[in-house]
Amino acid sequence: MKRFLGFALVLAISAGCAAVPPQHVGVLDTFGKVHDETWAPGLHAWAPWLGVHRINCRTLQEEEQTTTPTGEGLLVGLDVSVVYHANPDKAAEIFSRYGGLAGIEANVLQPEFRSTIRDVTAGFNAVDLYSGRRQEVSASMLNELRKRLEGRGITVEAVLLRNVKMPKQVSDAVEMKLAADQKAQQMEFVLRKEKSEAERKRIEAGGIADFQRIVTAGITPGLLTWKGIEATEKLSESTNSKFIVIGGRNGLPLILNP
């Protein structure tokens, strides 16, 4: 009885508390047997025979710098990142199967990530990685990696295609193509502008021609004679000396200064 009490006293003295950090899950095992129950972040009562393994469930990032072939067989340098986190409800499985987060990263995530990069880029041309299709390439990598890691205890949040190192001959060709496209767009703008200006001038000329046609149609010999007579009457009222000959050329009065 005394021995039992002494053993219990030793256990009570040696028992204490164990802390689980924020955004971690505490996985428990007793002499190698992993418990189904896990600890949430916080302070927990702990016994000496109870192993506590803390699994990081924060959002993490893994970078990969690799050289991979494209659809046309060119080798392209890629700098790609994967953003992920361990699923809290799979923490016990991650520890029991892979020995913890580091084990699943080294044996599952990294190999699958590298394989995904090679398989996806093989379906695109080099210019696709350098142009507006970069988002499509990233989305394809994300979907493929999620399929491969489904049920493994890791959630992939994003795949970021950060840097592309093209072969020099390809980058030169792409830059020339982009410059040619810009020049073609500029020329198209100039042509549209000139076409608009030509249309404006055509409309303006048509308006002037219509005006002249209307005015000309209204000018008759009788109207011209009448206007000449009116002008003659106004001139005759002035005090300046002059000779006015009625019945001049075309029937209009002639005004002669002395």
Read off the pLDDT of residues 37-82 as tens digits, 9 standing for 90 and up.
Answer: 999 999 998 888 888 999 999 999 999 998 888 887 788 888 999 9
> What is residue 256's DSSP assignment?
E
pLDDT at residue 131, as a whole number = 73
Q: Are both 35 and 97 inside the same structural domain?
A: no
Domain ranges, residue 26: 11-56
Q: Are both 50 and 76 inside the same structural domain?
A: no
Q: Is 176 inside any structural domain?
A: no
Amino acid at 192: R
Q: Chain-wide mean pLDDT for the chain?
A: 80
Rounded CA separation 174/183 (Å): 14
Spatial CB neighbours of 118, under 8 Å, sequence gap ≥ 6: 66, 68, 69
In the numeric block, the tokens 């000329």 are attached to 205
Read off the pLDDT of residues 140-170 as tens digits, 9 standing for 90 and up.
Answer: 999 999 999 999 999 999 999 888 887 666 6
Q: Are both 85 and 161 inside the same structural domain?
A: yes
Q: How many domains does the chain have?
A: 3
pLDDT at residue 13, as a whole number = 46
Instruction: Look up the CATH number of the domain holding residue 138.
Output: 3.30.479.30
In the numeric block, the tokens 């029991």 are attached to 96
Q: Is 180 inside any structural domain?
A: no
Q: 171, 206, 238 — which closes off a domain?
A: 171
Q: Are both 89 and 38 inside the same structural domain?
A: no
pLDDT at residue 54, as a whole number = 94
Q: 56, 73, 89 — which closes off a domain?
A: 56
Residue 130 has pLDDT above 60, yes or no: yes
CA angle 249, 250, 254 (to 5 degrees): 40
Q: Would you place residue 238 in the very low, low, confident or very high pLDDT band (cuts 50, 70, 90)?
A: low
